[in-house]
Amino acid sequence: MKNCKMKNWRKSMKKNWQLYVLLIIPVAYLLVFRFAPMLGLQIVFKDFKARLGIFGSPWCDPAFKYFIKFFNDYNFVSIIKNTLVLSIYGLIAGFPLPIILALSLHYTRQKMIKKTIQMITYAPYFISVVVIVGLLRQFFQVRGGFVNQMIQILGFESIDFFANASSFPHMYVWSGIWQGIGFGSIIYIAALAGVDPSLHEAAVVDGATKLQRIRHIDIPSIMPTAVTLLILSTGQILNIGFEKVLLMQNSINTVASEVISTYVYKTSFESPVPQYSYSTAINLFQSLIGIILILIVNKIAQKYSESSLF
Amino acid sequence: MLTIKNGVNKKKKIHSDGVFTVVNYIILFMIFIIVAYPLVYVISASFSSSDAIIQGRVKLLPVDFSLAGYEAVFSNKSVWMGYANSFFYMIVGTTLNVITTIMIAYPLTRKDLIGRKLVIGMLLFTMLFNAGLIPNYLTIDYLGLMDKRLVMILPKLLNPFNVIITMTYFKQTIPKELLEASIIDGCDNFKFITKIVVPLSKSIIAVISLYYAVAHWNAYFDAMLYLKSVALRPLQLVLRDILIQNQMSAEMMSTMDPDSLQVQENLAVLLKYSLIIIASIPLMILYPFVQKHFVKGVMIGSVKG
């Protein structure tokens, strides 16, 4: 049996050696840039000193010192809360809109209208975070920003949105939706195009209205896609759009904008004493929760909707 | 009795479908306005005079048409340098990304490849789990990539998500019989990939090229962490300084010929709008060409396989 396997090995190697040659660079990449850093994760159990390096730094005592430090950090509750608020708000507000846009486009006969709207709604997806935050600053400016101009037209006092912690989550989430709605709808448009037309024909013969067809045919057909996307985004719950938050942050709105990942960044790169071990521990905590969430939601999805990721 | 009932039903149906169509157009129109208006506003503002922007006279079309903002941006050296650097990272990076993606994706679709499951497992694992900010930073440091151009390219050589969609595409569009037939015709694996797989996969290559190009063009965080030299900085870092941290270089202000602090401030606002347009143009030009491939490429790729 073993012999036979060895033989197969050799035969396959000989026949497909070129495929193995192709794999060398990609696999080397994975090992060097994706797996090697995982060795560095041991610093969560060490008192990392740059001078001594990852392997030379002494083990810390107690082993979970940095995790304990995190749970006792006076920022702990607020950064967890901010992270959850931003991502769950984004998830709930952002999930149905691309589906609605996709359905709307799907039931639009005029090709011209359809094409134009697709073209325009995809565009913001290609704008960089830096530019998006730059736009937000311009639009929400107290003087001359067009949002405040509208507020003044309506007869209210202008508001300094960036100096106002309570408006931070709304600006963050809705600018994200503005940017992603069109691109997010592509996958649903494709799923809707794949619905068996005979289902619709049969429904029309039975006298179903368009709304009924959406409810009983289209929605169930795109459910698997929606569930898959939902599972994927749940895993990202703690992994909130770090770059954008960091760019939008200022000293006044940190109350609402300090999230796990920005805190990780600050404890290591913006603090006078870089705390590599500590911030890596926070980061690891975040990733582990993310994976656990994915697995749980995946299980639930398996049980109730028969569609899951793995 | 039955016919009457049917008649009523039909009327009701037509009526409610009419309502549906109207409501549908209203929804579409609203989404369209909400997405398009800020875009149009930025374009118009960039071609207006700074006074018109500050006084709120720009509503839809440019007011007091002027190119002052663009003149200021174009005469700025750091913007040009950022532009050149970003183009370099984007073009070299994307080319290598696409080649490497095909190099891993195709072999992984071959069922007769031993070790295939292991490599796929590695890929999936990296999608779920990342070592995080500090370990990655330390790795880059150990490898001596700090402050080198390569740091913008090598660490992002592969995106596992793009590999997976490419694999799925290959699986669905390259039939096994094709490989068998080509082998009989004396084709080896290299030839099969370059002569048959790649030409048949134009849509997915277009789509992943765009994804990679967008990632390179918009990357700012890696640059901020790893690049210290001003000469290597990509456009996004230059943008951050001007748009978000309000750091205008003296050179930029002097070309604006300011009479007072007020005028200077107003011009700064105008310059930002022009800068936003200029920074976004390359991708806006690129994506309509790829758009027709989206549905085919993204759809096939995203069906889980």
Q: What is the pLDDT of residues A164-193, one digit of tens each?
A: 888 999 999 999 999 999 988 988 888 888
Q: Indicate whether A275 pLDDT > 50.
A: yes
Q: Indicate whether A126 pLDDT > 60.
A: yes
Q: How far apart are CA B269 and CA B254, in angstroms?
A: 15
Contacts of A247 by beta carbon, 8 Å cutoff, 6+ apart: A129, A130, A133, B240, B244
Q: What is the pLDDT of residue B177?
A: 87
Q: What is the pLDDT of residue A26?
A: 96
Chain B residues near residue A246 by CB distance under 8 angstroms: 221
Helix, strand, or coil (residue A18): helix
Q: Indicate whether A139 pLDDT > 90.
A: no
Q: What is the pLDDT of residue B3?
A: 46
Q: Do A211 and B20 touch (CB under 8 A)?
A: yes
| Angle between helices B261-302 and A168-193 in degrees, nearest 10 | 30
Nearest CB among B13, B103, B155 relative to A26 is that of: B103
Q: Are B258 and B264 in contact (CB under 8 A)?
A: yes
| Share of residues in chain A with pLDDT > 90 (%) | 35
Any CB–CB contact under 8 A between A204 and chain B? Answer: no
Question: Is residue B305 very low, low, confident or very high in pLDDT (cuts 50, 70, 90)?
Answer: very low
- Tens digits of per-residue pLDDT, B33-79? 999 999 999 999 899 888 888 777 788 888 888 888 888 888 888 88
- Tens digits of per-residue pLDDT, A3-45? 666 777 777 777 888 999 999 999 999 999 999 999 999 999 9
Chain A residues near residue B58 by CB distance under 8 angstroms: 146
Task: Name which of A110-119, A141-150, B10-19 the model is least confident about.
Answer: B10-19
User: What is the residue-averaged pLDDT of chain A?
Assistant: 87
- What pTM, to 2 d.p., does this model score? 0.88
Chain A residues near residue B189 by CB distance under 8 angstroms: 16, 18-19, 22
Q: Do B294 and A280 touch (CB under 8 A)?
A: no
Q: Indicate whether A206 pLDDT > 90.
A: no
Please name the helix (run of DSSP H) or strand (run of DSSP E) that holds residue B228, with its range, or none: none
Size of interface A-B (CB pairs under 8 A): 255
Q: Do B295 and A137 touch (CB under 8 A)?
A: no
Nearest CB among A40, A54, A120 relative to B36 is that of: A120
DSSP for A237-292 reads TTS--HHHHHHH--TTTHHHH--HHHHHHIIIIISSS--HHHHHHHHHHHHHHHHH
- Tens digits of per-residue pLDDT, B221-242? 999 999 999 899 999 999 998 8
Question: Is residue B297 very low, low, confident or very high in pLDDT (cuts 50, 70, 90)?
Answer: low
Q: How far apart are CA B282 and CA B235, in angstroms?
A: 12
If contacts are CB pairs under 8 Å, which of residues 31-90 in chain A contact chain B? 32-41, 43, 54
Q: What is the pLDDT of residue A308?
A: 62
